[in-house]
């Protein structure tokens, strides 16, 4: 009887310790999968900051939703652009002044330089966690080392859209497709949606169509494309749209409210297009695992004791 009590206490301590560890670890994970992180610019003089809003918690009604903005890094000198989130981990990287590769936390803390880069017009992770970029100068399609931004492989664009036909007023326009491949905003004429499908080191291009939708201004100087969950979104000024991947048709969801008074343009946006597990889910799953381990230990000890 006393041995049973000791074993039970040991199992309880193990399970509790595991649960507490899981809770601690879960609290350190990334934000919800619906969280959008974006870099932005303000004019005269040009400065750049970083912030966030939540797709799942707007106020108002469809078409005129209001998504509350939180500034995490106040505008300062140094261009912040091409922010990209790694699937599964939620770790983020960006370009600083177009020439440095850096990481940024969900609290807006920017690291020191992790490596030198050339200017990109878009940067995004795919579902496997590989990092790609579109470069208007030199080799257009690049696979990057996600730890320092160095080029691992170079590729060309083949298909309907040539690299020298693509123009962007700012970075941040490359986004991974949830179904595979990438999309990019081309602002060379009327803004249009271009699709990239990987073919070895190269990217096969396809022109999907010209962006159009109620409330969309094709003269908007900065358009930032990003995916979240299984959907594609476009930020045009402070307006937020969903994007039809087959036609480039836009449906306005609403606006991002509470932006800095001198907000000018989003210079990049990213979210978890491959779902990042919720911290609570992670904790509960791990605690359930600890309980299962304790139950199996009890059965083994009983069997060994002949009970």
Q: Is the dihedral of CA 93, 82, 85, 26 positive or negative?
A: positive
Q: How many residues does the chain have?
A: 307
Is the model more confident about 202 or about 273? Answer: 202
Question: Is 117 among the domain residues?
Answer: yes
Q: How confident is the model at residue 171 (pLDDT cuts 50, 70, 90)?
A: low
Task: Provide the number of structural domains found in the chain.
Answer: 2
71-103 per-position pLDDT tens digit:
999 999 999 999 999 998 999 999 999 899 999
Q: Is there a single domain that holds both residue 56 and residue 76?
A: yes
Q: Is there a single domain that holds both residue 234 and residue 149?
A: yes
Question: Is 223 among the domain residues?
Answer: yes
Is 108 buried (19+), middle (13-18) or exposed (0-12) by CB count in 10 A?
Answer: middle
Tell me which residue has tokens 């799942």. Answer: 56
Q: Is there a single domain that holds both residue 287 and residue 144?
A: no
Is the model more confident about 124 or about 168? Answer: 124
Which of 266, 231, 221 has its CA nearest to residue 53? 266
Q: Is the dihedral of CA 26, 108, 241, 121 positive or negative?
A: negative
Supply the pLDDT for residue 86.
Answer: 94
Supply the pLDDT for residue 45.
Answer: 86
Q: What percent of the chain has pLDDT over 90?
A: 64
What's the CATH code of the domain at 146?
2.120.10.30
Q: Is there a single domain that holds both residue 180 and residue 210?
A: yes
Mean pLDDT of the region 102-108: 97
Question: Is 31 among the domain residues?
Answer: no
Q: Is there a single domain that holds both residue 7 and residue 130?
A: no
**Does the pLDDT of residue 137 top 80, yes or no?**
yes
Q: Is there a single domain that holds both residue 292 and residue 221?
A: no
Q: Is there a single domain that holds both residue 271 and residue 294?
A: no
Q: How confident is the model at residue 170 (pLDDT cuts 50, 70, 90)?
A: confident
Question: Is 10 among the domain residues?
Answer: yes
Question: Is 259 among the domain residues?
Answer: yes
251-268 per-position pLDDT tens digit:
999 999 999 999 999 999
Question: Is 247 among the domain residues?
Answer: yes
Supply the pLDDT for residue 275.
Answer: 59
> For strand 223-228 and strand 202-210, is the pairing parallel, antiparallel, or unpaired?
unpaired
Detail the DSSP E strand segments found in 77-201. Answer: 80-85, 92-96, 100-104, 115-116, 122-125, 131-134, 141-144, 151-155, 157-159, 174-176, 182-186, 192-199
Question: Is 97 among the domain residues?
Answer: yes
Helix (H) or strand (E) holding 290: helix 279-304
Q: Is there a single domain that holds both residue 269 and residue 124?
A: yes
pTM given for the model: 0.80
What is the residue range of 188's domain? 36-276
Average pLDDT, the chain: 82
Question: Is 226 among the domain residues?
Answer: yes
97: region left, alpha or beta (phi > 0 left; psi from -120 to 50 alpha): left
**Does the pLDDT of residue 294 top 50, yes or no?**
no
Q: Is there a single domain that holds both residue 8 and residue 90?
A: no
Q: Is there a single domain that holds both residue 214 and residue 146?
A: yes
Q: Is there a single domain that holds both residue 60 and residue 196?
A: yes
Q: Is there a single domain that holds both residue 120 and residue 251?
A: yes
Supply the pLDDT for residue 296.
Answer: 40
Question: Which tokens is 176 given?
Answer: 């991974």
């Amino acid at each position: 009887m006393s041995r049973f009590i000791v074993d039970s206490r040991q199992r309880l301590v193990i399970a509790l310790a595991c649960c507490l560890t899981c809770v601690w670890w879960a609290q350190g994970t990334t934000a919800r999968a619906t969280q959008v992180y974006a870099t932005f610019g303000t004019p005269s003089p040009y400065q750049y900051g970083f912030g966030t809003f939540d797709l799942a918690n707007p106020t108002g009604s469809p078409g005129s939703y209001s998504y509350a903005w939180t500034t995490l890094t106040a505008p300062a000198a140094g261009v912040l652009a091409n922010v990209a989130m790694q699937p599964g981990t939620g770790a983020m990287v960006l370009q600083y002044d177009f020439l440095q590769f850096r990481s940024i936390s969900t609290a807006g803390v920017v690291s020191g330089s992790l490596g030198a880069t050339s200017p990109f017009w878009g940067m995004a992770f795919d579902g496997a966690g590989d990092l790609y970029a579109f470069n208007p100068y030199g080799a257009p399609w690049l696979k990057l080392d996600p730890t320092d931004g160095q080029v691992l492989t170079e590729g060309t664009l083949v298909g309907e859209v040539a690299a020298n036909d693509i123009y962007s007023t700012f970075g941040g326009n490359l986004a991974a497709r949830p179904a595979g491949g990438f999309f990019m905003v081309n602002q060379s004429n009327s803004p249009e949606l271009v699709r990239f499908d990987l073919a070895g080191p190269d990217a096969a291009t396809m022109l999907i169509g010209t962006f159009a939708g109620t409330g969309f201004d094709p003269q908007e100087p900065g358009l930032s494309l990003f995916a979240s969950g299984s959907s594609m979104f476009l930020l045009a000024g402070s307006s937020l749209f969903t994007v039809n991947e087959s036609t480039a048709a836009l449906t306005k969801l609403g606006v991002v409210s509470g932006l800095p008074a001198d907000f000018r343009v989003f210079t990049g946006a990213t979210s978890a297009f491959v779902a990042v597990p919720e911290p609570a889910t992670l904790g509960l799953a791990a605690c359930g695992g600890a309980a299962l381990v304790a139950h199996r230990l009890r059965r083994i000890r009983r069997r060994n004791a002949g009970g």
